[in-house]
Homo-oligomer: A and B are copies of this chain.
Amino acid sequence: MTSRSSAVLDVAQAPFYRAVGDEVEVFRAAAVGGLPLLLKGPTGCGKTRFVETMAAELGRELITVAGHEDMTSADLVGRFLLKGGETVWVDGPLTRAVRAGAIFYLDEVVEARQDTTVVIHPLADHRRELPVDRLGVTLPAAPGFQLVISYNPGYQSVLKNLKESTRQRFVAIELGFPPPEIEREVIAHEAGVDAATARALVRVGSAIRNLDNSPLREVSSTRMLILAGGLVAGGLNLRTAVQSAVVQALSDDADIVAALGELVDAVLPQP
């Protein structure tokens, strides 16, 4: 089977990441005592990349799971499967992380139901242990184990938010979009485009983020700008690339699409 273990990062392949604030220092200090971490920030600002970078720096295995509404505690902890007429226990990703002393990253935690997130409580306080009720055992977390969860505060709602009793257990780091000079570097590196294209894309991104009274639910993320760069690298002209990867991705409303198109034309260099 052409596969590899869940997201084990090779330090030699440390991912590309540029720090924006004191996020690296806080992560390092939390890692000393294994304190649990909560990353807050908009979609596409680089939360996943940041965790991959820190795991590489700290030399730890990283196991990533994306939260979703149908996730059950068994999806995290493990379950019995039938093999040869026997029920055999198979560890879930959280249990594997607890045994291996890995970093466990639960992305978009508010998408998971609150009852699922409850299973991480004993791992997120002084107990540092995982009760596996179906096995009748409680596993102590191996040294190096660290919980990291993330969410986008802009998506918070009455129905989907983080329980206070969960949130309180975590040291919180707020991440945002990088400043222009760092964002240019990131886009050029990730999309494989030249500096002029990257500069033009950052100008587009900034112009949209700075719109007054914006009707958009979301702004142009670094990820979107990298996608536009990718289209350019694939042979498309810059304007069509921005139109597809940014404008059409941000709205379905014909008026808004037209207005954004004009803004983009004003910002992009004349061909």
Chain B residues, Cβ within 8 Å of A28: 234-235
Check A168 against B68 for contact (C-beta < 8 Å): no
A262 located at the interface, meaning its Cβ lies under 8 Å from any Cβ of chain B in the complex:
no
Interface size class of A (residues with CB under 8 A): 35 or more
Q: Which of A164-213 contact B (CB under 8 A)?
A: 164-165, 167-174, 190
Contact B115 A69 (CB under 8 A): yes
Q: Nearest residue in B to A23 (C-beta to C-beta)?
A: B244
Q: Which residues of B contact A85 (CB under 8 A)?
A: 84-85
| A227 close to chain B: CB less than 8 A | yes
For the complex formed by this chain, how many copies does it contain in all?
Answer: 6
CB-CB under 8 A for A234 and B70, given A7-B131, A168-B224, A249-B172: no
| Residues of B contacting A231 in the complex (Cβ-Cβ under 8 angstroms) | 26, 29-30, 33, 35, 171
**Cβ–Cβ < 8 Å partners of A12 in chain B:** none
Q: A3-B132, A5-B138, A82-B82 are in contact. List 19 more A-B contacts (CB 8 A).
A: A2-B99, A6-B131, A6-B138, A22-B240, A26-B240, A28-B234, A29-B231, A30-B231, A40-B248, A48-B125, A49-B126, A65-B131, A68-B73, A69-B113, A70-B116, A90-B136, A168-B249, A171-B230, A171-B231
19 contacts between A and B (CB under 8 A): A3-B137, A3-B139, A6-B136, A26-B236, A26-B244, A29-B231, A29-B232, A29-B241, A35-B227, A35-B245, A69-B115, A71-B115, A80-B82, A82-B86, A84-B86, A90-B136, A91-B136, A171-B231, A171-B245
